Amino acid sequence: MGHFLGKLKTFILGRHLPNRMLEQTELPKRVALPVFASDALSSVAYAPDEILLSLALAGGSALYLGPWVGLAVAAVLAVVVLCYRQNAYAYPSGGGDFEVVTSNLGANAGLVVGSSLFVDYILTVAVSISSGCTYLVSMMPELAAYRTEIAIGIVVFICLMNLRGTKESGNFFSIPAYTFIATTGLLILIGLVQYFSGTLGVATSSQLEISATAGYENSLVGLGLVLLLSRAFASGNTALTGIEAISNGIPIFQPPKSKNAAKTLLMLGGLSTFMLTSILFLSNQTGLVFINDPNAAIEIHQTALGVDLGENVNANPGDDTINAGSSLVQAALTPAIGQLAQTIFPNFSAAFYLISIVTLVILFLAANTAFNGFPTLASILAQRSYLPHYLANRGSRLSLSNGIIFLTLVSGLLIAIFRADVSALIQLYVLGVFISFTLSQLSMIIHWRKHPGPRVWSKILLSCVGFVMTGTVLVIILINKFIHGAWITLLLITFLFLYMKHIQKIYRETESGVSLTSEQLANQRSDPALNPTTIQAIVLVSELNRPTVRALHYAQLTHPQCVLALHVDEDPERTQKLRQAWAEADFRTPLKIIPNPFRQTVTNVVQFISITQDNHPDQLLAIFIPEYELTKTSDVLLHSRTGEKIRDQLYHLPGVIFVTVTWPLQDDHHA
């Protein structure tokens, strides 16, 4: 069975790679862009939707503000990109914000950033995959009932691709990433040409009027306008997720690493800014309306249909007016990019499906950024004993496979809990990454003051602008999203911070407990626990069979001072048969039989070994336990596992070691 599983693993993941091939997994810029930029690029697919949804709270008349909100988000994006280009040169080791903050603000501040990014990467997978499923369901509504299962299946697929190696997954995912850039860019360019030539059409959903949500009726004046814009701005800043991943993954770039990472950041920032602002501008010019709830309060524009849909909910389903209203609602459920494709290519439905398919694929692949950033971050935290050390180990394909698998399990669980609902998950999103942004830029101000150099004041000024801007956005996000779910993110970050501190404490206590001082090393010859002078082997015997003979033979190979066979009298008749068989076998090993009047086998063995060890503190006791090797799970229920119970009670005794001598059951059957 194990051989078959090994062959299957090699078939799925590929052959094992030696350590010397680690350099060959480094990425050129053309591959690094789709690997690290998928998250930020995919944000332009759902960030406009989130801005439009937020503005729609005040009704359709507020949608004209969309492009202005987009420009504000683009300004923040540009500043963050420029700031992280500085980070890439100043900290090329790949620790990203965690290293930057730890070096300048201390370990606790660094752990806050580590916890924040930890949560953000998990949410990146959940949000991007769920958003991709939204596009899939808009094209194929019959799959709506299976969106959770589809989302989890996509997460598993991306996991397997990353387990094959970073370079392999990057080459595979680069095709859809560049296809998304090409198709979205072509859509925008043709849309802009149509706008300037006066031939740009009107979106089908523009015939819908959205009523203001209760409490937002007066949101277009005074303080209400400020709060509305701040909410839309907070939602639109999902476009900035993924920017920090490049600074975390600098070691994966080909040399010169910092320069290539900085260039990739610049390309990413330019593409994201252009796409986000253009999509919002075209959305405004086509008058499209986006909703995420088919039961939302929607009124059919009187001039379009001459009837209020809300007054005809009981009308004949075949009524043309009702069918028209339903089609308009269905059109409004289509995300912004999909509606633009339908508007810009009105007589070419294939373009809509092509753009929608490419968009949903890039949304699925946005999770790939997290699958590259999260394992690296987890590895760095594990190296500092904040997480289990095995998260720093590389798998058979030189990928950080344990971190990849952990991310798959946790993000899959989150998708299952929230049923792949983007609207619910998006409220938990962004907060973590802006905590990281803000503390990172505060740290860079301190860094530049500690390390003056050419143009240092311009660098400090840029970091100050970045700190003020990202800090302001962080406050806006907290105000607007706290009661809608951001409090859960804060709770998770706090829990992770405390738990990782606890893990580090355990590792430190373990290291302290097993380490030797110079004085202990000098005195080890006089310490019986550290330097036993003799060895005695004790073989536990239940009956005379082949496992017992093997254990006796192994015990004698250790050349102990003496070997003793130990049997507990559970059944007098069975014990008598053992005496006779032992005598006939003419073993040179004495058989010690312990009485057992109260049927306490484990207790009697433990007492005998404890007393023997107390009487001879300078002697090492080697306890040989013959056991069957159980090949089937069901076999566990058929054996008492006495050896395990004895080990559990004696493992803490100094000067006592256990040797388990296994006997495969299939060998018995074959013989």
Least confident of 21-25, 136-140, 168-172, 191-195: 21-25
Tokens coding 585? 């076998």
Report strand pairing: 591-594 vs 562-568: parallel
The residue behind tokens 């299946």 is 153
User: 223: exposed, middle or buried (C-beta count within 10 Å: 0-12, 13-18, 19+)?
Assistant: exposed
Q: Is the peptide bond before 67 cis (omega within 30 degrees of 0)?
A: no
DSSP SS3 for 300: strand
Tokens coding 589? 């090993």
Cα–Cα dist 158/404, whole Å:
10
**Long-range CB contact pairs, 602-607, < 8 A, 24+:** 602/642, 602/645, 602/646, 602/649, 604/568, 605/540, 605/566, 605/568, 605/646, 606/646, 606/649, 606/650
The pLDDT of residue 552: 92
The overall average pLDDT reported for the chain is: 80
pLDDT in tens, 266-289: 888 888 899 999 999 999 999 988
CA atoms within 13 A on the CB side of 23: 2
245-257 in b/e form (b: 16+ CB < 10 A) is bbbbbbebbeeeb
Tokens coding 94? 């790949």
Cα–Cα dist 609/617, whole Å:
12
Beta bridge partners of 594: 568
Q: Which helix (H) or strand (E) holds 150?
A: helix 147-163
Least confident of 151-165, 266-280, 415-429, 555-569: 415-429
Domains and CATH numbers, the chain: 2-176+192-199+221-292+333-506 (1.20.1740.10), 524-670 (3.40.50.620)
CB 147 within 8 Å of CB 420? yes
Cα–Cα dist 373/61, whole Å:
41
Name, in order, each residue with C-beta under 8 angstroms of 512's C-beta and a sequence gap of 6 or more: none
CB 271 within 8 Å of CB 181? yes
Rg, Å, the chain Cα set = 33
Report strand pairing: 208-210 vs 619-629: unpaired
DSSP SS3 for 566: strand
Beta bridge partners of 628: 663
**pLDDT at 429 > cutoff 60:** yes
**pLDDT at 481 > cutoff 70:** yes
Q: Which residue has the higher pLDDT, 122 or 14?
A: 122
- At 521, give phi and psi (nearest 5°): -65, -40
CB 624 within 8 Å of CB 563? no
The pLDDT of residue 671: 42
Give percent above pLDDT 70 in the chain: 81
**pLDDT at 499 > cutoff 80:** yes
Tokens coding 139? 């094209």
Q: What is the side-by-side strand order in the sheet with 619-629?
A: 591-594, 562-568, 534-540, 619-629, 656-664
In the structure, how many helices (H) and strands (E) does the chain have?
A: 26, 7
DSSP state, 484?
I
Tokens coding 439? 């503390």
The residue behind tokens 């949500």 is 213
**pLDDT at 630 > cutoff 80:** no
Q: Is the dihedral of CA 489, 495, 499, 502 positive or negative?
A: positive
Cα–Cα dist 40/267, whole Å:
11
Q: What is the mean pLDDT of residues 591-607?
A: 86
Tokens coding 47? 């960030």
**pLDDT at 170 > cutoff 80:** no
Tokens coding 99? 């290293």
Name, in order, each residue with C-beta under 8 angstroms of 534's C-beta and a sequence gap of 6 or more: 560, 561, 616, 618, 619, 620
Q: For residue 51, how many other CB atoms are within 10 A of its CB? A: 32
Q: Is the dihedral of CA 105, 373, 354, 54 positive or negative?
A: negative
Q: For residue 627, how many other CB atoms are within 10 A of its CB? A: 17
Q: What is the mean pLDDT of residues 344-348?
A: 87
Prediction pTM value: 0.72
DSSP state, 589?
S
Of the spans 113-117, 227-231, 421-425, which averages the highest pLDDT?
113-117
DSSP state, 528?
T
Q: What is the mean pLDDT of residues 606-618?
A: 86
Name, in order, each residue with C-beta under 8 angstroms of 340's C-beta and a sequence gap of 6 or more: 187, 191, 203, 279, 282, 283, 286, 288
DSSP 415-478: HHHTTT-HHHHGGGSSHHHHHHHHHHHHHHHHHHHHS--TTHHHHHHHHHHHHHHHHHHHHHHH
The pLDDT of residue 299: 45
Q: Which residue has the higher pLDDT, 463 or 532?
A: 463
- At 440, give phi and psi (nearest 5°): -65, -45
Q: What is the mean pLDDT of residues 72-81?
A: 91
Name, in order, each residue with C-beta under 8 angstroms of 637's C-beta and a sequence gap of 6 or more: none
The amino acid present at 438, given as its one-letter code, is T
The pLDDT of residue 422: 73
Of the spans 293-302, 334-343, 497-506, 572-581, which averages the highest pLDDT?
497-506
Q: Which residue has the higher pLDDT, 98 or 424?
A: 98
